[in-house]
C-alpha cells in the first residue's frame, strides 16, 4: 500500500444496525474494505441471537500476469496464499476455494467489491479446513476454467471465499457469538518471502 498495479485485501459485510440472517448477510452490499493490512481472511461471525449473523469477510487478490503475452499457452497455473492462521470456533469445518473477482479498480478495494466475487470454482474442488495451513503456502491448482481466467496481457483477478456455506448459500450451524477464519498474508507483509 499504496498499490501501483494490483491489489489484495478483504471485503466485508458488517450487519447493520442489527445482526442478519445468513441469506441476507451473504447477499447484501458490502460495508467495508481493507487493502492495507498485512492479513486477509475468509471469515464468518455469528451474533448472540439465534440464527443471526454479524460479519462476513472475503478475499480479493489480483496479479499482474501481462508478462505472459498474448502468444502464451497456459498449461498449468497455481494460486498460492501464504496461510497465517485458522480457527473454527463455530465447529462447522469451513472450506475455501478460488473464484473470479471484478473489483471497481485494480489498485484499491471498496465496500461494493464485496458483491463482485464470482461463485464458479476456479479449481474444481474446494480446500478443506483440515488441509488449510496457517503457517505455509496453500496451493490452489487452477482447473481449465481457472486457467482460462488468467490474463495473458493484463491483470488476473481472483478471490477466495468460503465454499460450503457462503457460496453454497447454506447457513452454518449457529452457535452464539462464535467465528471461523482461514487467514492469509497480504503483499503488505514486509519482505518477499510471503508474497
Q: What is the pLDDT of residue 2?
A: 78
Q: How far apart are CA 191 and CA 195, in angstroms?
A: 8
Predicted structure pTM score:
0.97
pLDDT at 1 over 80: no
Sequence-separated contacts (24+) of 135-138 with Cβ below 8 Å: 135/83, 135/84, 136/82, 136/83, 137/80, 137/81, 137/82, 137/83, 138/80, 138/81, 138/82, 138/83, 138/184
Q: What is the pLDDT of residue 98?
A: 99
Q: Residue 187: which pLDDT band, with cuts at 50, 70 and 90?
A: very high
Pair 127, 81: CB distance under 8 Å: no
Buried b (16+ CB within 10 A) or exposed e, 32-59: ebbbeeebbbbbbbbbeeeebbbbbbbb
Q: How far apart are CA 109 and CA 34, in angstroms?
A: 7
Rg (CA), the chain: 16
Q: What is the pLDDT of residue 192?
A: 85
pLDDT at 135 over 90: yes
Q: What is the pLDDT of residue 195?
A: 75
Q: How far apart are CA 133 and CA 118, in angstroms?
A: 24
pLDDT one-digit tens code per residue, 140-186:
999 999 999 999 999 999 999 999 999 999 999 999 999 999 999 99
pLDDT one-digit tens code per residue, 72-84:
999 999 999 999 9
pLDDT one-digit tens code per residue, 33-84:
999 999 999 999 999 999 999 999 999 999 999 999 999 999 999 999 999 9
Give the Å distances, CA to CA, from 81 to 94, 104, 159.
16, 22, 11
pLDDT at 130 over 90: yes
pLDDT at 123 over 90: yes
pLDDT at 3 over 90: no
Q: How far apart are CA 114 and CA 159, in angstroms?
A: 10
Q: What is the pLDDT of residue 19?
A: 97
Amino acid at each position: 500500500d499504496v498499490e501501483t498495479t494490483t491489489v489484495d485485501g478483504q471485503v466485508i459485510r458488517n450487519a447493520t444496525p442489527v445482526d442478519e440472517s445468513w441469506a441476507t448477510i451473504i447477499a447484501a452490499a458490502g460495508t467495508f474494505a481493507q487493502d492495507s493490512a498485512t492479513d486477509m481472511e475468509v471469515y464468518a461471525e455469528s451474533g448472540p441471537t439465534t440464527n443471526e449473523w454479524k460479519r462476513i469477510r472475503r478475499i480479493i487478490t489480483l496479479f499482474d500476469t501481462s508478462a505472459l503475452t498474448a502468444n502464451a499457452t497456459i498449461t498449468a497455473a497455481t494460486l498460492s496464499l501464504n496461510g497465517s492462521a485458522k480457527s473454527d470456533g463455530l465447529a462447522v469445518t469451513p472450506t475455501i476455494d478460488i473464484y473470479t473477482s471484478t473489483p471497481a479498480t485494480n489498485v484499491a478495494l471498496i465496500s461494493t467489491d464485496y458483491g463482485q466475487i464470482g461463485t464458479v470454482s476456479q479449481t474444481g474442488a474446494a480446500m478443506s479446513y483440515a488441509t488449510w495451513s496457517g503457517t505455509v503456502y496453500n496451493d490452489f491448482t487452477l482447473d481449465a476454467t481457472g486457467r482460462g481466467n488468467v490474463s495473458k496481457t493484463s491483470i488476473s483477478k481472483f478471490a477466495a471465499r468460503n465454499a460450503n456455506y457462503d457460496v453454497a448459500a447454506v447457513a452454518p450451524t449457529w452457535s452464539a457469538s462464535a467465528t471461523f477464519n482461514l487467514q492469509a498474508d497480504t503483499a503488505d507483509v514486509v519482505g518477499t518471502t510471503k508474497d
